[in-house]
Amino acid sequence: MSEAITALVTGASRGIGAAIADALVEAGYRVAGTATSEAGAAAIGSRLGSAGAGFVLDVADDVSVEQAHAAIVAQLGDPLVLVNNAGVTRDNLLLRMKPEEWDTVVQTNVGGLYRLCRRMVRPMMKARFGRIISLSSVIARMGNAGQTNYAASKGAVEAFTRSLAQEIGSRGITVNAVAPGFIETEMTAAIPEAQRHALLANVAVGRLGSAAEVASVVRFLASEGAGYITGETIHVNGGLYCA
Ligand SMILES: NC(=O)c1ccc[n+]([C@@H]2O[C@H](COP(=O)([O-])OP(=O)(O)OC[C@H]3O[C@@H](n4cnc5c(N)ncnc54)[C@H](OP(=O)(O)O)[C@@H]3O)[C@@H](O)[C@H]2O)c1
């Protein structure tokens, strides 16, 4: 265990983040998983057991990022794998979109990358190894009425990824994004049945994806074997959109 690489997975309390944490534990990483509440962090800690620990983190808040990062480094060492999974939606048509619906989505989905990467890249540079993997969405490419804030934030995740990859590639650090389509989680459970039916008609494989199917791609991108892939967005959408 002492030689295991530490991986930080934001938003590991449920959905895709929980599946990523499980997949990385299975692959032998020591995992720091985060939730926004003490109860969520404690539940992550219980699930991970000796393979890692749970921490409270709000990626939209500078102080929270600073405190969580310090606690993770003290307990598990510097993470050399960072999975920016935490993400939120605040759907509304643009004409009705309140400033706080815009700001929450942008500050969480994009601002979180800035805060975490900026803090965590230096130790990766020293180690001459690092893996940064961020969750985008098929909506970044397809667009979706009612999601201008979310689509803009995920498009920014992909653009950020391409640029940071070029800044730090020579230090052995790869930076990639994974863009899921419609995955069975609490986020998609909110989609009305009729809309869900219509969506599935356009998915080549004819079903929603599972969180585990997204996690297996993240696990691959974190591995040594993925060292020549950087600046990329890997689509995991069952053929809903072929980029
Ligand atoms: N589900 C899909 O079909 C789908 C499709 C495309 C892309 N994605 C992307 O995949 C990622 C995970 O999606 P999901 O469906 O698994 O989401 P989810 O079930 O709604 O879970 C969201 C996770 O993010 C955490 N979180 C929310 N706000 C946060 C903040 N300010 N700081 C830190 N953590 C925060 C939540 O923590 P708490 O439990 O403490 O609230 C939770 O762990 C997101 O980036 C999402 O945009 C999902």
Task: List pLDDT tens digits, range 68-91.
Answer: 999 999 999 999 999 999 999 999
- How much is the mean pLDDT over the chain? 96
Q: Is residue 243 part of a domain?
A: no
- Residue percentage of the chain with pLDDT more than 90: 92
Q: Is residue 241 part of a domain?
A: no
Packing angle of the helix pair 148-168, 99-109 (nearest 10 deg): 30
Please give the pLDDT value at position 230.
Answer: 99
Mean pLDDT within 133-151: 98
Amino acid identity for residue 65 in this structure = V
Q: How many domains does the chain have?
A: 1
Tell whether ligand 1 has an atom less than 6 A from the beta carbon of residue 44: no
Question: Residue 114 C-alpha to ligand 1 middle, in angstroms?
Answer: 17
Q: Is residue 1 part of a domain?
A: no
30-to-1, 95, 151, 189, 191 alpha-carbon distances in Å: 7, 45, 32, 30, 34
Tell whether ligand 1 has an atom less than 6 A from the beta carbon of residue 36: yes
Please tell me the distance from the alpha carbon of residue 33 to that of residue 35, in angstroms, as a whole number.
7
Q: Is residue 137 part of a domain?
A: yes
Q: Is residue 150 part of a domain?
A: yes
Tell whether ligand 1 has an atom less than 6 A from the beta carbon of residue 33: no
Please give the pLDDT value at position 196.
Answer: 86
41: which 2 tokens? Answer: 């962090």
For residue 1, pLDDT over 80 is answered with no
Please give the pLDDT value at position 114.
Answer: 98
pLDDT in tens, 20-62: 999 999 999 999 999 999 999 999 999 999 999 999 999 999 9
Edge-to-edge strand ranges of the sheet holding 233-236: 52-56, 30-35, 6-9, 81-84, 130-135, 173-180, 233-236
At residue 243 the predicted structure's pLDDT band, cuts being 50, 70 and 90, is: confident
Q: Is residue 153 part of a domain?
A: yes
Please give the pLDDT value at position 193.
Answer: 87
pLDDT in tens, 168-198: 999 999 999 999 999 998 878 888 888 888 8
pLDDT in tens, 94-125: 999 999 999 999 999 999 999 999 999 999 99
Please give the pLDDT value at position 186.
Answer: 82
| Residue of 142, 187, 218, 233 to test ligand 1 pocket, by largest number of atoms within 8 Å of CB | 187
> What is the full DSSP assignment across the chain?
-TTSPEEEESS-SSHHHHHHHHHHHHTT-EEEEEESSHHHHHHHHHHHGGGEEEEE--TT-HHHHHHHHHHHHHHH---SEEEE---------GGG--HHHHHHHHHHHTHHHHHHHHHHHHHHHHHT-EEEEEE--THHHH--TT-HHHHHHHHHHHHHHHHHHHHHGGGTEEEEEEEE-SBSSHHHHTS-HHHHHHHHTT-TTSSPBPHHHHHHHHHHHHSGGGTT--S-EEEESTTSS--
Q: Which residues are catalytic?
A: 150
Please give the pLDDT value at position 2.
Answer: 45
Give residue 32's domain range.
Answer: 6-236
Q: Name the CA radius of gyration of the chain, rounded.
A: 17
**Strand pairing category for 130-135 and 81-84:** parallel
Question: Residue 230 C-alpha to ligand 1 middle, in angstroms?
Answer: 23
CATH code for the domain of 122: 3.40.50.720
91: which 2 tokens? Answer: 């759907």
- Distant-in-sequence, close-in-space partners of 6: CB < 8 Å, separation ≥ 6: 29, 30, 31, 32, 72, 76, 77, 78, 79, 80, 81
Q: Is residue 223 part of a domain?
A: yes
